[in-house]
Amino acid sequence: MVIEKMLNSRLAQWLDERSDIVKLTRAHLTDYPTPKNLNYMWSFGSLAMLVLTIQILSGIFLAMYYKPSAMMTSGGYSVAFDSVERIMRDVNFGWLIRYMHAVGASAFFIVVYMHIGRGIYYGSYKGPRELLWIIGVVILLIMQGTAFFGYLLPWGQMSFWGATVITNLFGALPVIGSFLQELLRGGFAVGDPTLNRFFSLHYLFPLLLAAIVGGHVHALHVVHSNNPTGVDVHEGKGTIPFHPYYTVKDAFGVGVFLILYCYVVFFHPQLGGYFIEVDNYVAADNLQTPSHIAPVWYLTPWYTILRSFENKLLGVIAMGASLAVLFLLPFLDRSKVRSARYRPVFRQMVILFFISVLVLGYCGHSVPTPTLKLIGQLATIYYFAFFFMLPFVHKFEKTRPLPEEI
């Protein structure tokens, strides 16, 4: 009612005559035809938009007080580390903004990993949504880059050593390796120039992300949403307008998310060292390597793949391939049926794939022991086997009968 009133207001009509704003809002938001059977797994897309907004806004406020310098103050700490402490102790509600941003980073990955998992389970990557999926993978890579750059900024022990380990990996690449490593670091070792360029990129990437998300949603609106059955929906028959049906459903998802998010922000911002590592409360010291260096949980699956190989170059190639293969997913899966609901073999494979990613994540976060290393290697083998098996599954899989309409 309120939205309808707003769209019919004289101001909206005045704007519409000059910009088509009302027509666009109707076509892409309120009247947008959406499959009538979407479940709550389809709420993670709009949630991801919300968390991206939280991250950009809290980041802008943090940047007003944060200082990207590794130079030492008279107190014996770097300017960057000191500025983060000042945000936590002196700036009004600085602690809240910092925790919103740090917890928001983990929340963003939880939401986006659920969104990707939904896409894989229900075959949303399959034609005609290949481009939508590819744009999604680009978003994922930019998100991972942004998180990695951001983690250096507090200039704590884990910031410094994490950046040292990861930038070292680039050095393993033949021919361009040392050039790339130096380019990233802005010198031979991680130091003040590294902090400056990481801060610059950490600010730039989310804005880029916002633009690419615009392209992602545009691509979605060209081909329209998939649904839990994976069956094509014919407009008018199986669709309902986005508003009020999905605005209300998504609002419920937002409410549940905000309750959980606020609980963690206010009561457990470090979440047992998973969201903010304890070592990062110790100022960076280039003469003291922490006993255990690991990235934050959302990067650990790929870190385990890297560590599964004795040879550093092979590890780097495998890690790159494990992300690059996501681009190929729409082309590897040849089945005509989309949703795992009707694909018994694919369903088992996908569930095992999700378990293997969780196991990889666990192994990457833990102190490596020979047993964990072996488990990590087995999970790595299955991760790749999933993609290798995909082109052949449809040849022997007996799919269940699909509904004619949703």
Is 216 annotated as a binding-site member?
Answer: yes
Which residue stretch of 71-79, 172-180, 215-223, 266-274 sits at the interface with ligand HEM (rule: CB under 6 A)?
215-223
Reduced to 3 states (helix: H, G, I; strand: E, B; else coil), residue 34 is strand
Told to check if 299 binds ligand HEM by CB under 6 A, we report no
Q: Residue 107 or 283: which CB sits closer to ligand HEM?
A: 107
Which residue stretch of 131-139, 279-287, 301-309, 355-363 sits at the interface with ligand HEM (rule: CB under 6 A)?
131-139
The site that binds ligand HEM (CB under 6 A) totals a number of residues, namely: 28
* Residues β-bridged to residue 239: 35
Write down the least CB distance from residue 83 to ligand HEM, Å. Answer: 28
Tell me how far apart the alpha carbons of residues 116 and 102 are, in angstroms, rounded to a whole number.
Answer: 22
Q: State the binding string over 191-210 for ligand HEM (x if CB under 6 A, else -).
A: ------------------x-
Told to check if 322 binds ligand HEM by CB under 6 A, we report no
Told to check if 70 binds ligand HEM by CB under 6 A, we report no
Told to check if 242 binds ligand HEM by CB under 6 A, we report no
Sequence-distant (≥ 6) Cβ neighbours of residue 282 within 8 angstroms: 156, 157
N residues, the chain: 406
Strand residue runs (E) in 253-355: none
Write down the least CB distance from residue 226 to ligand HEM, Å. Answer: 3
Write down the least CB distance from residue 402 to ligand HEM, Å. Answer: 16
In 10 A of CB 317, how many CB atoms?
A: 16
In 10 A of CB 119, how many CB atoms?
A: 21
- Cβ–Cβ under 8 Å, residues 372 and 366: yes
174 burial (CB, 10 Å; 0-12 / 13-18 / 19+) is: exposed
Write down the least CB distance from residue 322 to ligand HEM, Å. Answer: 13
| Element of type H or E holding 305 | helix 300-307
Q: Residue 45 or 162: which CB sits closer to ligand HEM?
A: 45
Q: State the binding string over 103-122 for ligand HEM (x if CB under 6 A, else -).
A: ---------x--xx--x--x
Sequence-distant (≥ 6) Cβ neighbours of residue 113 within 8 angstroms: 298
Write down the least CB distance from residue 71 to ligand HEM, Å. Answer: 34
Which residue pairs from 195-199 have beta carbons closer than 8 angstroms and sit at least 24 positions apart in sequence? 195/68, 195/69, 195/70, 195/80, 195/152, 195/153, 195/155, 196/68, 196/69, 198/68, 198/149, 198/150, 198/152, 198/153, 198/163, 199/66, 199/68, 199/149, 199/153
Q: Closest Cα to residue 201, out of 189, 182, 184, 180? A: 184
Q: Residue 135 or 166: which CB sits closer to ligand HEM?
A: 135
Q: Which of 59, 94, 104, 136 binds ligand HEM (CB under 6 A)?
A: 136
Q: Residue 233 or 276: which CB sits closer to ligand HEM?
A: 233
Tell me how far apart the alpha carbons of residues 93 and 287 are, in angstroms, rounded to a whole number.
Answer: 34
**DSSP 8-class letter at 35:** E
Told to check if 126 binds ligand HEM by CB under 6 A, we report no
Tell me how far apart the alpha carbons of residues 268 and 192 are, in angstroms, rounded to a whole number.
Answer: 31
Write down the least CB distance from residue 74 to ligand HEM, Å. Answer: 42
Told to check if 124 binds ligand HEM by CB under 6 A, we report yes
Q: Token digits for 264?
A: 């963690």
Q: Which of 70, 105, 139, 316 binds ligand HEM (CB under 6 A)?
A: 139
Write down the least CB distance from residue 129 to ligand HEM, Å. Answer: 5
Q: Closest Cα to residue 156, out of 294, 275, 281, 272? A: 281
Told to check if 220 binds ligand HEM by CB under 6 A, we report yes
Q: Residue 171 or 215: which CB sits closer to ligand HEM?
A: 215
Q: Which of 32, 44, 66, 302 binds ligand HEM (CB under 6 A)?
A: 44
Binding-site residues sit at: 101, 115, 202, 216, 221
* Chain contacts with ligand HEM (rule: CB under 6 A): 42, 44-46, 48-49, 52, 112, 115-116, 119, 122, 124-125, 129, 132-133, 136-137, 139-140, 209, 213, 216-217, 220, 225-226
